[in-house]
Amino acid sequence: MWNRKGKPVGRGGLTAFMDEDSDIEGRYFFKGTLMLNGHFKGDISSSDTLIIGEKGKVTGDIRAGQVVVSGEIVGSVICTERVELKRTARVFGDMEGPLVVVEGISRLLPGVVGNPESVASESFQAGLLEGP
């Protein structure tokens, strides 16, 4: 993961961390880089970076500069810079942003793209690839 200045963001670059034993409900506003591995129910807002780990789950809407998803989101994602879906990502809602990066093995489910006809051209549906 890289920050806006082109420098790598490691664990030392995090400004907040929610571990997998966390279970939080409400609204969360932050600056910097948040790594979320717990469960969060509510809306998250930031102009910076949200990283949802493999064990992380957000039930609510997200507005951020960048979102990297390895876990699960049930809600919409609106980014001003980019959304990155890792192979373990599960998103049940709409995504919006100038750049959406999907790891090669990811699968977009109906309703994620927002265009009902998109599922007809989805690689697995069209038989271009074997299903996961």
Prediction pTM value: 0.72
* Structure confidence at residue 120 (pLDDT): 59
The one-letter amino acid at 61: D
* Structure confidence at residue 16 (pLDDT): 87
Span 21-53, pLDDT tens digits: 999 999 999 999 999 999 999 999 999 999 999
Q: Check whether 131 has a pLDDT greater than 80.
A: no
CA atoms of 68 and 1, how far apart (whole Å): 9
**Portion of the chain with pLDDT greater than 90, in percent:** 51
Q: Check whether 116 has a pLDDT greater than 50.
A: yes
Q: Check whether 117 has a pLDDT greater than 80.
A: no
Q: How many residues does the chain have?
A: 132
Average pLDDT, whole number, for the chain? Answer: 81
Span 72-94, pLDDT tens digits: 999 999 999 999 999 899 999 88
Cα–Cα nearest to 39, from 18, 59, 54, 57:
57
Q: Provide DSSP, 46-93.
A: -SSEEEE-TT-EEES-EEEEEEEESSEEES-EEEEEEEEE-TT-EEES
Helix (H, G, I), strand (E, B) or coil at 118: helix
- Model confidence at 108, pLDDT cuts 50, 70, 90, reads low
